[in-house]
Amino acid sequence: MKKEFTNWKILLIDDEPKLLDLMKDVLEEEKYHVFCASSGSDGILLNEQKNPDLILLDLRMPEMDGIETLRNIRKNDDKVRVVILTGYGCPDTIRDAADLNVSEYLSKPFENEDLVSIISKSLEL
């Protein structure tokens, strides 16, 4: 039986185009509605326009990093669930992320199935 699209909307914010495309494919396969932003400022704008249920946010981005992006998002949106993705995790960014009420902090590399599972659980909570 063909799987129907869910009502969940997910916003991906990452400056790496290949990773963005890969995650988009994986999540669309799971029938999520996916929007992509390749910078923090685009992500802030798309969050306002699309009102997603969950944001997947890369920490290390040029110009505006993930924490700064999330600080801006939280000024107007304290509800959206956020999963932080990072290849360079350290306690400083973990504490910042916790202060900004993230759902999950996930270190790269990760398996696609782990990402799908974490998103699914974050949306259910």
Partner 1 sequence: MNDLRRLIYVPILHAREDSGRTASILHGNEKNDIKNEKNDKELSAVDEMWDGIATKIGGLNLPWNQTRIYQDGLPVCGNELEIVTRHAESGSPNFLFILDLIQKRAKLEGTENIDLLIREYDLLNKLLMKNSNKDRKELIAEYQAKSRELLTLRDEFILNRITSTLQKGELPIVFMGVMHRLDKMLEKDFFVSYVIYRLPFRSMGTIYNA
Interface positions, 78-117, toward partner 1 (CB under 8 A): 81, 89-92, 94-95, 97-98, 101-107, 110, 114
Q: In terms of CB distance, is 47 or 103 closer to partner 1?
A: 103
- Closest distance to partner 1 from the beta carbon of 103 (Å): 4
**Per-residue H/E/C for the chain:** CCCCCCCCEEEEECCCHHHHHHHHHHHHHCCCEEEEECCHHHHHHHHHHHCCCEEEEECCCCCCCHHHHHHHHHHHCCCCEEEEEECCCCHHHHHHHHHCCCCEEEECCCCHHHHHHHHHHHHHC
70 near partner 1, judged by CB under 8 A: no
- Closest distance to partner 1 from the beta carbon of 104 (Å): 5
- Closest distance to partner 1 from the beta carbon of 54 (Å): 11
**Binding footprint of partner 1 on the chain (CB under 8 A):** 81, 89-92, 94-95, 97-98, 101-107, 110, 114, 118, 121-122, 124-125
